[in-house]
Structure 1
Amino acid sequence: MEIEKRYCQSCGMPLDIHHEELFGTNSDQTKSEEFCFYCYQNGQYTVDYSMKKIIDVWVENTDLFNNHIHTKYTPDELRTILNRRLPTLKRWKQKNDTENVYYEIMNRIKVYINSHLFDTLNTELLSKIAGLSRFHFLRTFKAYTGESVGNYIQRIRLEYIAHLFLTTELSLNNIIQQTNYQTKHSLSKAFKKHFGLSPTDYKEQNKHSYSDMSMLSKGILPQIKKISGLSIVYRAIDNTCSTTKEYKDIWKELLSFTESNIAKSPENKFVSVSMDDPLITLYSNCRFFIGITVNQKVKPKGKFGMMDIPEGYYAVFKYKGNYSSLPNLYRYIYLMWLPRNEYRQKNTFSFELYIKTPIEEDDNNLLTEIYIPIEKRTKK
């Protein structure tokens, strides 16, 4: 009869009853049948590491892992195995289940705020949508976003208004009407507090900020396309993702989640979505998501959710090469192309479609299409 394989319920290392020296110890010094000696001694965890940190430690010590259990994993193979195994283990499962519930709630709240940005948004309404007490909602929102809910809403509103100043010819009074802001005085006061400049000075200063564009951007003209709406399974990218490797690991997480929930199709496309103008919003605050297009509904889980890309007209810019030069292209689009043609940006919701996947392709050969939502300018 085959014995069911057991794993350390913290780090995922297989525990073999014939190698008791690998077992941790309980508070009474008996052998723990759940944890290895690296993770658990005297009835306590030996280190207060995150799940990601424990995986990183084992990957850095792949040879030691292999020596203990007589395997020949490569570091990449071991990372893949542990990424799948650890979320199912005792130490992490309950914690992950709780975190997943809160991620789903916070994603739902942020989607609601994005969709009702200039409606009346108060903590009573938002906590009711979240299904939490007002006190618990306020604490949870700040823990997951790093901002109070009031500051978060105020910042996104002001950054959207700044975007209107830079990309449209709307007057301050027109913008107040369009955004349902209280008064000209209250908007100017809040704007100056956030950006350090009055709306007029801000527009004048940024008008010439990027007049000397890179040669990369000169002569790039878009196609104007009307697209049908798209549904995507997404995963938010936060500002802790700072390297190409981390970025690709998150893509792999998204692929694994998608493959576990829907049938793979050649029609699935890789996309990323930005809800902010990168010339206005600090990088650390940008709302950025990676996603895969799907043609069926997928139940949100933790960091993974569903989002609709709206149908409409888009200016589509094609780009080949490393992502490091993309900011120059965006500057060209926002500050040179948009002000000099018959279109204006409809909203700050833009997305990128990857013709070649960002996981497998060499960075310098990546093909990207940038979609900017547009509408015809109103004739004066």
Structure 2
Amino acid sequence: MRLMMTHSTIKQLTIKAILEYIEDNIEVKSIDIESIVCFSGYSRRYLQSLFKSHMGVPIGRYIQLRRVSRAAVLLRLTSLSLASIAGKLCYDSQQTFTREFKKNTGFTPLQYRNSNLWTFKNLTGPKEPSIVIPKPKLCYLDENKFKGMPMSYEEDIPFWGENSDKKWNYVKKYFTENKESYIAISHDVNPSARKKVRIKLIFWFEKERHNHTTGVLTAGTYAKFEYTGSIKNYIHYINNVYMNSLPFYGLQKKNVYDLEIIHKDKDDSYRFEYYLPICNKT
């Protein structure tokens, strides 16, 4: 039994190392099964069998989907040229990039960038051997005209929240200085010419302030996600929502404000409710 557990652990660690290698190198060099063989020291046949049994897809297919998925994010959240994106993701030409992107998403890169909906068909985020895909609850929200304090900052792509301290420091300060048990926030994103995204948000307030701004939460269907835990883990959870949950459940995001409600409980833990505006399933 002990030998079986040890063998299983080695397999899990091997898969984890391969997944990390792919993420670390996806914008560094062209990755294929041969580069994974050289990295791991295992045979091609063994790696194909191991990866397929744990991840459900062949290594080559996973690499292809991760590259297309990273390209999709860059198309939606930046104004980088197609040639720049193709180069960043190590495609041998813009034509190869366009062909592979359309084959997997059904859209040309420009069609995908200019669409009113953000579709996630055939996309996949960074995976882990034991990943749990968040399950949404679909709900309807009425239109809500709100006002509040604006804030903006830039985030890197891929998004891991490393530059969002401005937002979270304000959230912590708010709960320290106010008796309210929650705070509501809505976000909008603006493409950047660099590999960054400009995030604009509004902290909802009932009382008008000197620097207030207004917004409208559109009436419609929202996918509700709930999470309890630390801010750091919540940021990873939201990344999982966008890149794994939305593709898995076939949901499309509208280009309108979302809604995030953050609660702070008496034991200083955080509860998050995230309402993501969606259209019909793909």
Normalising by structure 2, report the TM-score: 0.49
Pair member with larger Rg: 1
Higher relative contact order (CA 8 A, sep 6+): 2
Q: Which structure has greater strand proportion?
A: 2
